[in-house]
Amino acid sequence: MFKLLVTSIIIINNLLPPVSPTCRYPFEGFGVHLGKLESFNETSADVRASIINLVYNDLLIRNFRTEYLPQFSTKENTYSINCSDVKSCAWITMHSLLSKLPDKSVIVSIWSPPYYMKTFFRHLATEYEEAYYYYITNVTQLIKDQFNLTIDRISMANEPENLIASWDECTMPANQLCRLAQTYDDPIISLCPENAWFSVSKIYLNYSYHGINCRRACRTVVSHGYTLSLNPLFWGSVYYDTKEYPEDVESPTWITEISSTRILAQYSQMTEAIDFSTSIINFVGITCVQRFYYWLAFTTFPSGESLIWYDVTRNKIVLPKKYYALRHFTMASFDNSGHRFICSTNSYLCLQFTSKTVYVNKGYDKEQINNLCDLCCTTDDHDYRCTASNVLPPRSICSC
């Protein structure tokens, strides 16, 4: 009789979805960087307006990420935002459009300080550390004056550990980055350490020496959500980190960038969409991040780094599977209540928001959920199809 009772309890427990504890900090939504500046510059005004419309009105994204360009200051105590080259002109166009959107939050990640502030080895020179603070605050005020854009929060170093980047960047070891954050003591310049890997961000956060404490300096912990691709076909590329990390109960945490740099992204759309969705569920539901930003809104070519592709030859916007995957999550979480919890089973992944739930079936068999609903699904065959059902199609992202 005792064995029968224990067996019955085990069976019942395996059938019931686990309920995650309530996250300490409320979820504030999804975000994106509007797009690669070069791509933005190559498209017409109509295409740009369509991209903004898709991001704001279809994906319902209200959190935007941008950058400060090194050319905003060419010498000390001089700051200006002028159309002086292709990148700065595209930046001005992009932010003129962004300024027209209501109810938005804009954060900044800085790839590189002004060039005169950097050493030959691409470090921020010690003698310019105070000038760097004035550069950040003056450019922030310029943006407010010229574009009527309020910058909510700033990360002073994007991927500060990256020693081999092929783009403009500035390396900062933990002792310099966190010392500056503590010295500046500015609630706006409070996003850090913003490393490429979540595990490296944890290493930076644990730095504490001679009064420098990264945990105290980084008021909001930010990181990117990348991992090195282990697939031999894509060796050297980065991919969505799908590992489960526990919640950081000491500080609010954001993922400020995630994407895939695998080549030929157009040929593995559903696989990338499922892995992207898995990363969302783990970071938002288990790690309990407050915000989750995708890398680029769009590019003028198929890319694992962008949500929207523009086919220049056919003059056509292309929406890959990962766009629709994200749409399930943005629509489910748009009530702004901030509530979410994991409802996954052994058969499928599941993230429940206040009024809607998102399901991810990674397998090749159909899976049944508990309730019959107007189930909208993204699959290999359909971008976004809704039917009254309680069955998840094979390899699908669904919501209801």
Mean pLDDT (whole number) for 51-68: 97
4-13, 37-46, 101-110, 239-248: least confidently modelled range: 4-13
Residue 9 lies in a domain: no
Q: Is the model's pLDDT at 12 over the cut of 70?
A: no
pLDDT tier for residue 264 given thresholds of 50, 70 and 90? confident
Query: What's the domain range around 263?
Result: 23-338
**Closest C-alpha among 189, 157, 192, 399 to residue 277:** 399
Residue 334 lies in a domain: yes
Residue 61 lies in a domain: yes
For position 297, what pLDDT does the model report?
A: 96
Residue 325 near residue 260 (C-beta atoms within 8 A):
no
Mean pLDDT (whole number) for 318-340: 95
Residue 7 lies in a domain: no
Write the single-letter amino acid at 289: V
How many Cβ atoms are within 10 Å of 133's Cβ, its own excluded?
16
* CA end-to-end distance (rounded Å), the chain: 41
Residue 193 lies in a domain: yes
Total domains in the chain come to: 1
Residue 353 lies in a domain: no
Residue 91 lies in a domain: yes
Sequence length of the chain is 400
Average model confidence (pLDDT) for the chain? 92
Mean pLDDT (whole number) for 203-229: 95
Mean pLDDT (whole number) for 44-72: 96
pLDDT tier for residue 330 given thresholds of 50, 70 and 90? very high
Mean pLDDT (whole number) for 160-181: 92
For position 21, what pLDDT does the model report?
A: 56
> How crowded is the C-beta side of 335, counted as CA atoms within 13 Å?
11
Mean pLDDT (whole number) for 156-162: 96
Residue 234 lies in a domain: yes
pLDDT tier for residue 313 given thresholds of 50, 70 and 90? confident
pLDDT cut 70: percent of the chain above it:
95
pTM of the model: 0.93
Query: Cα–Cα distances in Å, from 232 out to 193, 225, 229, 259, 260?
Result: 30, 20, 8, 18, 15
Per-residue pLDDT reduced to its tens digit, 348-383:
999 999 989 999 999 999 999 999 999 999 999 999
CATH code for the domain of 191: 3.20.20.80
For position 22, what pLDDT does the model report?
A: 78
